[in-house]
């Protein structure tokens, strides 16, 4: 992975076993995002972006069409991120309570 937990498109392709065309097609359709760019304009995937790509790849392996990915991945990803935030807050609250 490149700096600050960001991954290049090539790293994502290798990590998930997906092709250049597939990843860039998903980017072009807004199914996945690369929210960071280098000074030279190259895409970088943050940890959050990487979770979204993993979700899309998992659903594709399960047989989802590109149309289904475009429809469901953004909403599923947002719900997953909310669940992660709630769980992190719950664990932090519990840790603070134990520290008292």
> Domain containing 52 — which CATH number?
1.10.1660.10
Residue 36 included in any domain: yes
Coil, helix or strand at residue 37? strand
Res. 3 pLDDT band, cuts 50 70 90: low
Which pLDDT tens digit goes with each residue over 51-74? Answer: 999 999 999 999 999 999 998 888
Domain region containing 67: 9-99
Percent of residues in the chain assigned helix, strand, coil, to nearest 5: 65, 10, 25
Q: What average pLDDT is seen over the chain?
A: 90
Residue 4 placed within a domain: no
User: 18 in a domain, yes or no?
Assistant: yes
Query: Across 1-100, where does the E strand assignment appear?
Result: 36-37, 43-44
**pTM for this entry:** 0.76
**What digits encode the pLDDT tens for the residues 5-21?**
899 999 999 999 999 99
The answer to whether residue 2 sits within a structural domain is: no
DSSP conformational letter for 38 = -
């Amino acid at each position: 992975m490149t700096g600050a937990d960001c991954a290049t498109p090539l790293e994502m392709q290798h990590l998930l076993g997906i092709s250049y065309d597939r990843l860039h097609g998903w980017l072009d359709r807004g199914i996945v995002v690369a929210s960071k760019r280098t000074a030279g304009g190259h895409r970088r995937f943050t940890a959050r972006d990487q979770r979204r790509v993993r979700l899309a790849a998992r659903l594709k392996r399960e047989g989802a069409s590109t149309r289904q990915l475009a429809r469901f991945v953004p909403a599923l990803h947002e719900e997953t991120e909310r669940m992660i935030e709630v769980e992190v807050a719950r664990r932090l609250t519990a840790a603070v309570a134990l520290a008292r």
